[in-house]
């Protein structure tokens, strides 16, 4: 009796264990077609390299989710943050996207939609033209992701730069005045008022990966634009002296100003002209070696 009972229990247990697997297989077979039909062969994501920072350019990152190479002929993003599409076109006519691998494609940003309503949708859409081996080219629409908020940040910066440019021209003087001991130097921020009557205030100036302010001469804060041309002397020192500071620099000579123009607040990046950038690199190299 015990043996018969045990065999019955064992058989029941085996059947119970087998049933979920059978159900799973049935469910998988039934669900395979819809999954395949909705799976996107190419996923799209927004990124930005250090080289592109401050240059109104981004990367459209495409990832091939299939097991075969795909030939990409075009890629563009549509965002309500910009007035036109953000487009990439291959210089050679097409680009091979290897299976299960991503590739980043550079694209310039168009004019930002600065008058856009804040209540509108920010959904990001992509259109990718591609062809699978042995098949005709197709163009498919899909959603895209921007996990780091790159488009929103760039749109904000473009808008505040446009508003600031209407109020004043702000540049860095190509001259660099190096102190006698070589440990600090002075760059000059030159502000020339324009015709727009809006107020402009430089609330703060951020340090960069290469340049820091001197504790003995901190950078000015809350500078209100006047009606006459202004020059702001900024005493700088190296922010870092590791061997790669200059060799790998991408944005160290891009000076970030936190400004307020009218009712808009944001970051305005002032790039050092080529002549000044070279002098800053020489200064940092010499100062760090002393």
Q: From CA 52, how far away is CA 128, in angstroms rounded?
A: 22
DSSP structure class, residue 252 = T
Per-residue pLDDT tens listing for the chain (290 residues): 444 433 433 344 333 333 333 333 333 333 333 333 457 899 999 999 888 877 889 999 999 999 999 999 999 999 999 999 999 988 877 899 999 999 999 999 999 999 765 555 678 999 999 999 999 999 999 999 999 999 999 999 999 999 999 999 999 999 999 999 999 999 999 999 988 878 899 999 999 999 999 999 999 999 998 888 999 999 999 999 988 888 888 889 999 999 999 888 999 999 999 999 999 999 999 999 88
- Nearest residue to 214 (alpha-carbon basis) of 191, 183, 243: 183
Helix, strand, coil shares of the chain, percent, nearest 5, are 25, 35, 40
Q: From CA 213, how far away is CA 251, in angstroms rounded?
A: 16
Q: From CA 174, how far away is CA 81, in angstroms rounded?
A: 34
Q: From CA 14, how far away is CA 244, in angstroms rounded?
A: 64
Do the strands 177-178 and 168-172 form a parallel or antiparallel pair, or are they unpaired? unpaired
pTM: 0.75
CB 109 within 8 A of CB 57: yes
């Amino acid at each position: 009796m015990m043996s018969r009972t045990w065999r019955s229990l064992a058989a029941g247990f085996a059947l119970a264990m087998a049933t979920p697997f059978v159900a799973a297989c049935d469910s998988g077979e039934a669900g395979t077609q819809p999954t395949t039909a909705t799976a996107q062969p190419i996923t799209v994501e927004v990124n930005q390299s250090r080289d592109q920072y401050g240059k109104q350019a981004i990367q459209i990152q495409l990832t091939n989710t299939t097991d075969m190479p795909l030939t990409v002929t075009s890629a563009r993003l549509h965002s309500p943050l910009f007035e036109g599409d953000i487009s990439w076109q291959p210089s050679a006519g097409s680009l091979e996207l290897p299976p299960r691998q991503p590739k980043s494609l550079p694209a310039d940003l168009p004019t930002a939609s600065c008058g856009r309503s804040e209540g509108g949708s920010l959904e990001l859409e992509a259109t990718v033209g591609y062809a699978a081996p042995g098949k005709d080219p197709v163009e498919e629409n899909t959603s895209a992701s921007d996990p780091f908020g790159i488009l929103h940040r760039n749109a904000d910066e473009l808008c505040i730069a446009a508003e600031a440019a209407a109020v004043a021209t702000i540049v860095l003087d190509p001259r660099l005045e190096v102190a006698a001991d070589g440990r600090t130097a002075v760059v000059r921020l030159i502000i020339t008022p324009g015709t727009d009557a809006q107020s402009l205030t430089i609330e703060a100036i951020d340090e960069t990966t290469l340049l820091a302010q001197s504790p003995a001469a901190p950078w000015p804060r809350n500078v209100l634009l006047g009606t006459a041309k202004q020059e702001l002397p900024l005493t700088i020192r190296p922010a870092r002296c590791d061997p790669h500071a200059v060799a790998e620099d991408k944005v160290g000579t891009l000076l970030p100003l936190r400004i307020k123009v009218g009712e808009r607040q944001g970051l305005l990046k002032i790039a050092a002209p080529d002549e000044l950038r070279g002098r800053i690199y020489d200064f940092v190299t010499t100062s760090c070696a002393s």
